[in-house]
Amino acid sequence: MIGIRILGRIAEDQIAIQSTRTAVSSGLVVELARLKNSLEFGSGKAVLDQLDPVPLVAYRRLDQCCQLLANPHAIGRLLESPALRGVWENPRIRTLQADPEILEAVRRGDFLSILSNPKVLALWTDPNIRALLSGDQIQAACDYAKEETKR
């Protein structure tokens, strides 16, 4: 249920972003958002809130990252972020930066495709990358990208 909640939240963010671009979200994205909403309907939300081990701040950070990824200027700022410099220099990440499938998903704003891509999922087996992508590093990078895009 927690996985549906997280993926549904990403799907909701993706739908919102794609609607501003007058793009149509895929059926899977729409169904994940609906499934999440049906789980949280009525008393289900209160139960999930009690059982969910994911802190509320992680959901806010997820929303913030999805919004930033929808902005090409913000993506550039994320790539320049001092907090993520070590990530971008990692050879496994460099390979993904040139992957046509991932680049196309970024262009479309299709975050679920990116996050569910086996090449991206495989990164989480690398302890160095997991350390580089700690919550503090991600938050610092998002703050860096967000600050510049406000100007």
Which pLDDT score, from 0 to 100, does residue 99 have? 92
Residue type, 92: R
Confidence band of 100 (pLDDT split at 50, 70, 90)? very high
Per-residue burial over 98-133, b = 16 or more CB atoms within 10 Å of its CB, e = otherwise: eeeebeebbeebbbbbbeebeebeebeeeeebeebb
> Distance between CA atoms of 73 and 107, rounded to whole angstroms?
13
| pLDDT single digits (tens) 56-81 | 887 887 788 777 777 778 878 877 88
Q: What is the mean pLDDT of residues 3-12?
A: 83
Contacts for 64 with CB less than 8 Å, ≥ 6 apart? 142, 146
Q: Which residue has the tokens 């690398």?
A: 126
First to last CA, the chain: 39
Give me the DSSP letters along 101-123: HHHHHHHHT-HHHHHH-HHHHHH
pLDDT over 90, % of the chain: 2
Confidence band of 101 (pLDDT split at 50, 70, 90)? very high
| pLDDT single digits (tens) 15-38 | 887 777 777 777 888 888 888 888
Q: Where are the domains of the chain?
A: 1-53, 55-151
Which pLDDT score, from 0 to 100, does residue 88 have? 78
